[in-house]
A and B are shown apart, each in its own frame.
Chain A
Amino acid sequence: MLLLGASGAGKSTLLHALAGVLADDEGDREGTMLIDGRRPAPGRAGLVLQDPDSQLILARVGDDVAFGCENLGVPRDETWRRVRESLESVGLSVPLDRSTTALSGGQKQRLALAGVLAMRPGLILLDEPTANLDPDGVTDVRDAVARVAHDTGATLVVIEHRVAVWQHVVDRVVVLGAGAGVVADGDPASVLEARGVELAAGGVWVAGHPPVHPPRRAGRERIAVLDTHGLAAGRAREAVQSGLDLTILSGATLAITGANGTGKSTLGLTLAGLLPPVGGVVTASEALAAGAGPYPITWRSRQLLTRIGTVFQQPEHQFLASTVRAELAVGPKALGLAAAEIDSRVTELLERLRLGRLAEANPFTLSGGEKRRLSVATLLATRPGVLVLDEPTFGQDSRTWAELVALLAELVGDGTALVAITHDLDLMDALADSTVTLA
């Protein structure tokens, strides 16, 4: 069963309640919920969460899968039998003593699924299990889930923005409306047919209803703003990529893609003048450098502001202030702009990115989509010539996605050079002028 609904409709809350992990002090509840005639309790239903890293519990694969069985008091021999069965069922054929941190994102999610499976629940709940994965990881997890449903006969409930991934493996689609309860319930084809437009408007990715974004305008004049020569990128002097010769043009988008762990983010940070190159050079054009010297890594933090802006994968990493308004003012203030100028820039951005209503809110309390918009807005406040974005569309609903794409397209049209690190194929289709695939 696939559970759909716009952001804020209460999908995750329902799932957590079914899993029995909703504490009594987390708001009001009324009515009753019974699983097989009993109240939900941990262990009766299994839950897989979105973030692959935060749900690894133990250091070794076998131990992690066994954890749930131990908690339920399953005898030792039976536990290890279930561990092997579950791993086989999710198609994860690694040794039991393999380190869990050494797994890829897709493998981690399948491990979490195996851990749930070993508890033999009648109900398995998956809360956006593929939102943080690369395309291969998504397929692996989806197939594992389908196989598990087939093998065990358990009921599976999946929350997911991207309907296309799950459409053909689920038997039933339920749509929740904010404050409206169940608004549709039925087989995938008919529900998506009847509710497709409405769902798409609510931010759900429905096949046949792609998010609408304006066509790309060609940038006026494309000139090279950043050049790399024999660039080797890495951390702590260990190169993950080397020998890269790239040219970044103003008014154009360069997409950098590749599987998890190929060093996309590291390359992005190196291009952005945040990490020193392990080898080779990143050189800025004279127009971009504007007197700050040819190598971005030697620029002062303040000099980066108007030259290269970076949007981090996790927006939380770059928040500095206690309100959205103050957050937007950080950059302009560091530039030493006049108060009136700061105010006008901030107000304009609040308007443009639909953040006005949230001006006094704490950035950490925003929703995922709002955080993403804010993190992009903070950089626009200082109008950098180059923008580097690390997975800007990760886990975003289709509405936020469309807004971001429209905004980025506009910036590129105005002459900004855009570097997008992504494995979002739709994003590449919508924006990329050229693509580099790392291996």
Chain B
Amino acid sequence: MTAVNPAIPVNPVIPVNPVARLGATLLLALCLVLTIDWVSASVALVLELVVFVFIRMPARQFWLRTLPVWVAAPLTGVTIALYGRTEGTVFFEFAFARVSEGSITLAIATVLRVLAIGLPAVVLFVTIDPTELADGLAQRLRLPARFVLGALAGMRLISLFLDDWRSLELARRARGVADSGRIRRLAGQAFALFVLSIRRGSTLATAMEARGFGADVQRTWARESPWGAREWLVMAAGLSIGLVAIVAAVASGRWNFIVGP
């Protein structure tokens, strides 16, 4: 399985604790969702690109990973240009779609914003190793180990579910019921997968329990989840980019608070 394989060797762009990456992304996103204007988004985007260059992100890797963001952003833009709030000159009108000066401005601001939030999120997240993230969440954020490790182990089952789904599909053809009634068949197939997944899940739970998972002992951690200056630096970088963007928007008079008038 390649689609969901947490074990693909990860070669992080920057060796930083996943929790710090998560934190940096969240802080940045938080700043940027407060306003809808093109100034804050552009400032953030420019600063981010500088950072990407600075950390020598390999170009090929960068484009491959961020491709979905580059596709999604313009699509959002088109939608907003067509259906966004009408303001100023109307350029084009068709059914419910109305392209105006206002909606175009809003569209540009949105495209930039999707990029400004999406690019760093993807860059920081795609390389995250699930095991390291779980270690970080449990050891650094003190989330309950039972929950974090349960989720981590459960993720491993996803690839088995994909295999199950394929077999279920072929088996339906073999049983002579695959010619018609696609929706009903899919529902039945989904139910069968559900039954199988519960079964696999409970076997996994038994295996984990048999290894002492959930025992009344203070758990130790075989892997360290390092946290130091570098982690603080990444978090600070995320926050500063967000703050600088806000300051720029306010200073240029383009600040457009999201819940404002």
Q: Chain A: residues with CB nearer than 8 A to chain B?
A: 16, 19-21, 41-43, 46-47, 49, 51, 53-60, 62-63, 66-76, 79-80, 83, 97, 99-102, 112, 115-116, 119, 269, 272, 274-275, 300-302, 304-305, 309-310, 312, 314, 316-320, 330-331, 334-335, 364, 378-379, 382
What is the chain B residue whose CB lies nearest that of A308? B174
Known interface pairs A83-B222, A274-B173, A317-B196; 9 further A-B residue pairs with C-beta atoms within 8 A, sorted by A's residue number: A54-B160, A67-B211, A100-B7, A115-B211, A269-B170, A301-B174, A312-B174, A318-B171, A379-B174
Q: Chain B: residues with CB nearer than 8 A to chain A?
A: 1, 5-9, 130-131, 152-153, 156-157, 159-160, 164, 167-168, 170-179, 188, 192, 195-196, 200, 203-204, 206-215, 217-224
Tell me the minimal C-beta distance from B261 to chain A in angstroms: 50
Q: How far does the alpha carbon of A54 sit from the alpha carbon of B168 in the complex, in Å? A: 18
What is the chain B residue whose CB lies nearest that of A49? B207
Indicate if the CB atoms of A68 and B212 lie closer than 8 Å. Answer: yes
Indicate if the CB atoms of B212 and A119 lie closer than 8 Å. Answer: yes
A/B interface sample: 10 pairs, CB < 8 A: A21-B206, A42-B209, A42-B212, A43-B211, A57-B208, A67-B208, A76-B221, A76-B224, A101-B156, A331-B176
Indicate if the CB atoms of B7 and A300 lie closer than 8 Å. Answer: no
Indicate if the CB atoms of B176 and A334 lie closer than 8 Å. Answer: yes
Cβ of A100: which chain B residues have Cβ within 8 Å of it?
7
Indicate if the CB atoms of B204 and A71 lie closer than 8 Å. Answer: no
Cβ of A80: which chain B residues have Cβ within 8 Å of it?
222
Indicate if the CB atoms of B217 and A72 lie closer than 8 Å. Answer: yes
Q: How far does the alpha carbon of A4 sit from the alpha carbon of B43 in the complex, in Å? A: 72
Q: Which of B172, B175, B210 contacts A19 (CB 8 A)?
A: B210
Tell me the minimal C-beta distance from B194 to chain A in angstroms: 11
Cβ of B179: which chain A residues have Cβ within 8 Å of it?
300-302
Indicate if the CB atoms of A70 and B170 lie closer than 8 Å. Answer: no
Indicate if the CB atoms of A69 and B206 lie closer than 8 Å. Answer: no
Q: How far does the alpha carbon of A74 sit from the alpha carbon of B222 in the complex, in Å? A: 9
Known: A71-B219, A97-B9. A318 touches B211 (CB 8 A): no
Indicate if the CB atoms of B171 and A317 lie closer than 8 Å. Answer: yes
Tell me the minimal C-beta distance from B136 to chain A in angstroms: 14
Tell me the minimal C-beta distance from B181 to chain A in angstroms: 11
Indicate if the CB atoms of A101 and B1 lie closer than 8 Å. Answer: yes
Cβ of A300: which chain B residues have Cβ within 8 Å of it?
179
Tell me the minimal C-beta distance from A306 to chain B in angstroms: 9
Q: How far does the alpha carbon of A42 sit from the alpha carbon of B217 in the complex, in Å? A: 11
Indicate if the CB atoms of A119 and B192 lie closer than 8 Å. Answer: no
Indicate if the CB atoms of B195 and A364 lie closer than 8 Å. Answer: yes
Cβ of B203: which chain A residues have Cβ within 8 Å of it?
49, 51, 54-55
Indicate if the CB atoms of A318 and B174 lie closer than 8 Å. Answer: yes
Q: How far does the alpha carbon of A101 sit from the alpha carbon of B162 in the complex, in Å? A: 14
Indicate if the CB atoms of B176 and A312 lie closer than 8 Å. Answer: no
Tell me the minimal C-beta distance from B178 to chain A in angstroms: 4
Indicate if the CB atoms of A43 and B200 lie closer than 8 Å. Answer: no
Q: Which of A53, A69, A115, A320 contacts B172 (CB 8 A)?
A: A320
Cβ of B206: which chain A residues have Cβ within 8 Å of it?
16, 21, 47, 49
What is the chain A residue whose CB lies nearest that of B221? A70
Cβ of B219: which chain A residues have Cβ within 8 Å of it?
70-71, 73
Q: How far does the alpha carbon of A317 sit from the alpha carbon of B217 in the complex, in Å? A: 40
Indicate if the CB atoms of A301 and B173 lie closer than 8 Å. Answer: yes
Known: A57-B153, A59-B156. A305 touches B176 (CB 8 A): yes
Cβ of B157: which chain A residues have Cβ within 8 Å of it?
54
Indicate if the CB atoms of A21 and B210 lie closer than 8 Å. Answer: yes
Q: Which of B1, B9, B175 contacts A331 (CB 8 A)?
A: B175
Known: A76-B222, A312-B167. A334 touches B175 (CB 8 A): yes
Q: How far does the alpha carbon of A188 sit from the alpha carbon of B202 in the complex, in Å? A: 34
Tell me the minimal C-beta distance from A378 to chain B in angstroms: 7
Q: How far does the alpha carbon of A192 sit from the alpha carbon of B213 in the complex, in Å? A: 38
What is the chain B residue whose CB lies nearest that of A334? B176
Cβ of B177: which chain A residues have Cβ within 8 Å of it?
301, 320, 330, 334
Cβ of B7: which chain A residues have Cβ within 8 Å of it?
59-60, 99-102
Cβ of B6: which chain A residues have Cβ within 8 Å of it?
59
Q: How far does the alpha carbon of A100 sit from the alpha carbon of B210 in the complex, in Å? A: 19
Indicate if the CB atoms of A330 and B175 lie closer than 8 Å. Answer: yes
What is the chain B residue whose CB lies nearest that of A297? B173
Indicate if the CB atoms of B211 and A317 lie closer than 8 Å. Answer: no
- Greatest chain B CB density within 10 A among A20, A71, A304, A310 is at A71
Q: How far does the alpha carbon of A318 sit from the alpha carbon of B178 in the complex, in Å? A: 12
Cβ of B221: which chain A residues have Cβ within 8 Å of it?
70, 76
Known: A54-B203, A317-B167. A71 touches B212 (CB 8 A): yes
Indicate if the CB atoms of B195 and A57 lie closer than 8 Å. Answer: no
Q: How far does the alpha carbon of A70 sit from the alpha carbon of B217 in the complex, in Å? A: 10
Indicate if the CB atoms of B222 and A69 lie closer than 8 Å. Answer: yes
Indicate if the CB atoms of B211 and A119 lie closer than 8 Å. Answer: yes
Known: A301-B177, A318-B175. A63 touches B167 (CB 8 A): no
Indicate if the CB atoms of B207 and A55 lie closer than 8 Å. Answer: yes
Indicate if the CB atoms of B175 and A378 lie closer than 8 Å. Answer: yes
Tell me the minimal C-beta distance from B162 to chain A in angstroms: 12
Cβ of A312: which chain B residues have Cβ within 8 Å of it?
167, 170-171, 174
Q: Which of B131, B159, B160, B220 contacts A60 (CB 8 A)?
A: B131
Indicate if the CB atoms of B207 and A317 lie closer than 8 Å. Answer: no
Cβ of B188: which chain A residues have Cβ within 8 Å of it?
320
Cβ of A83: which chain B residues have Cβ within 8 Å of it?
222
Indicate if the CB atoms of A275 and B170 lie closer than 8 Å. Answer: yes
Tell me the minimal C-beta distance from B189 to chain A in angstroms: 9
Q: Which of A55, A57, A71, A112 contacts B215 (CB 8 A)?
A: A71
Q: How far does the alpha carbon of A164 sit from the alpha carbon of B118 in the complex, in Å? A: 60
Tell me the minimal C-beta distance from A113 to chain B in angstroms: 12
Indicate if the CB atoms of A42 and B214 lie closer than 8 Å. Answer: yes
Indicate if the CB atoms of B176 and A304 lie closer than 8 Å. Answer: yes
Cβ of B167: which chain A residues have Cβ within 8 Å of it?
312, 314, 317
What is the chain A residue whose CB lies nearest that of B160? A53
